[in-house]
């Protein structure tokens, strides 16, 4: 018999999408948790929950035996402790990206996930973005031949959402969490850029070496670079490039191009449009007018993500987007940051245990 899913969601900003997704899937909402009592009240009413189902302390949620699934959508700095505790309490876990912010924390999470018989999935949601799913289908169909170059980006202006970082917060977790996006450990390449890096990894594999340059002209409130460009060297003769800007003066965009031996795909994910360039009858010259493939845009496709997670639990499947996958993406991001700091290429270390 299928395991009945009783879900708790920790953190209700991004978590509101997971709440919706779990309900949409038909799971039972067992509990919600947020330190912001106004948010708690809002979603208590929206999902018609009782006082006993609403928590400000996530550790109390784990004491509930009826809850078997926890979705973690709290600030990145909390992910490690929460994932470890959830798994130790016998809950299946869907943890928002990035898995964590430091090498020490990703290694600890991978170890905890390996030691547990519960499912642990990371929410690298680009793999459910409708335009990127279509891109993957096109590449896998062979229409552009073998990939030799891919470029993508994460360009998202954080100017209005970042609070000036106060170094005095470093050792005070509560204060740190109140300004968690400005924490120097939450470099833009790891925090948001992990979406673009994960997309590259999905199509091209694990880079063996990265070389990056950063600059810092846009976000005076943080100490880390607001803009980074990295070149990634993949096996099988593939080169990648990623552009991450958390201070750019343009609307959110994730333009992505994939170059193959028989054609090229140019994707504007925010419009849901893919231009498909292929070679003509002579097998050499490219057709100048591309075929246009369009899809309905679903950027934060939490519903599809939850469906996959639920199926893994219900069918007792191996988790595709497991802790190791999340750790690899963070490791590449950390290598990019390190390379930009030392001005030399860096080889990611994919050994986490």
Q: What are phi and psi of 54, to 5 degrees?
A: -115, 130
Q: How far apart are CA 218 and CA 222, in angstroms?
A: 10
Min dist CB 178 to ligand NAD, Å, is: 8
Give the interface with ligand NAD as residue ranges (CB under 6 A). 10-14, 33-36, 39, 58, 73-76, 78, 96-97, 123, 125, 177, 191, 300
Q: What is the dihedral of CA 246, 247, 253, 254, to 10 degrees?
A: -40
Contact 93, 118 (CB under 8 A): yes
Min dist CB 325 to ligand NAD, Å, is: 14
User: Which tokens belong to 264?
Assistant: 């090229």
Min dist CB 39 to ligand NAD, Å, is: 5
Of the pair 19, 346, the CB lying nearest ligand NAD is at 19
Min dist CB 121 to ligand NAD, Å, is: 12
Of the pair 177, 304, the CB lying nearest ligand NAD is at 177
User: Which tokens belong to 251?
Assistant: 């609307």
Of the pair 34, 226, the CB lying nearest ligand NAD is at 34
Min dist CB 10 to ligand NAD, Å, is: 5
Of the pair 70, 265, the CB lying nearest ligand NAD is at 70
Of the pair 80, 346, the CB lying nearest ligand NAD is at 80
Min dist CB 142 to ligand NAD, Å, is: 30
Q: How far apart are CA 23 and CA 238, in angstroms?
A: 41
55: region left, alpha or beta (phi > 0 left; psi from -120 to 50 alpha): beta
Contact 148, 260 (CB under 8 A): yes
Of the pair 13, 353, the CB lying nearest ligand NAD is at 13
DSSP string, 257-292: EEEETTEEEEEETTTTEEEEEEB-TTSSSBPSS-EE
Min dist CB 290 to ligand NAD, Å, is: 28
Q: How far apart are CA 128 and CA 122, in angstroms?
A: 12
Of the pair 224, 259, the CB lying nearest ligand NAD is at 224
């Amino acid at each position: 018999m299928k395991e009945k899913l009783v879900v708790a969601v920790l953190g209700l900003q991004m978590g509101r999408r997971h709440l919706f997704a779990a309900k949409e899937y038909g799971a039972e909402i067992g509990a919600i948790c947020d330190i912001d009592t106004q948010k708690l009240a809002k979603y208590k009413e929206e999902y018609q929950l009782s006082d006993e189902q609403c928590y400000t302390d996530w550790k109390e949620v784990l004491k509930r035996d009826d809850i078997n699934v926890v979705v973690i959508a709290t600030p990145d700095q909390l992910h490690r402790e929460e994932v470890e505790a959830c798994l130790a309490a016998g809950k299946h876990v869907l943890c928002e990206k990035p898995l964590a912010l430091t090498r020490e924390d990703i290694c600890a999470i991978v170890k905890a996930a390996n030691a547990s018989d519960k499912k642990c999935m990371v929410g690298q949601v680009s793999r459910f973005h409708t335009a990127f799913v279509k891109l993957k289908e096109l590449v896998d169909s062979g229409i552009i031949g073998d990939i030799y170059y891919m470029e993508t980006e994460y360009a998202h202006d954080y100017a209005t959402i970042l609070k000036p970082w106060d170094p005095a917060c470093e050792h005070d977790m509560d204060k740190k969490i109140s300004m968690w996006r400005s924490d120097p450990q939450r470099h833009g390449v790891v925090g948001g850029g992990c979406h673009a890096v994960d997309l590259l990894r999905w199509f091209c594999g694990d880079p063996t070496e990265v070389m990056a340059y950063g600059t810092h002209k846009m976000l005076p409130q943080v100490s880390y670079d607001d803009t980074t460009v990295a070149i990634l060297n993949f096996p099988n003769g593939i080169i990648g490039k990623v552009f991450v800007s958390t201070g750019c003066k343009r609307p959110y965009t994730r333009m992505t191009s994939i170059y193959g031996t028989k054609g090229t795909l140019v994707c504007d994910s925010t419009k849901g449009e893919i231009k498909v360039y292929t070679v003509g009858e002579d097998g050499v010259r490219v057709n100048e007018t591309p075929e246009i493939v369009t899809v309905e845009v679903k950027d934060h496709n939490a519903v599809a993500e939850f469906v996959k997670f639920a199926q893994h639990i219900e069918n007792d499947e191996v988790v595709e987007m497991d802790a190791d996958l999340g750790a690899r993406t963070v490791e590449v991001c950390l290598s990019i940051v390190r390379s930009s700091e030392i001005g030399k290429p860096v080889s990611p270390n994919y050994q986490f245990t």
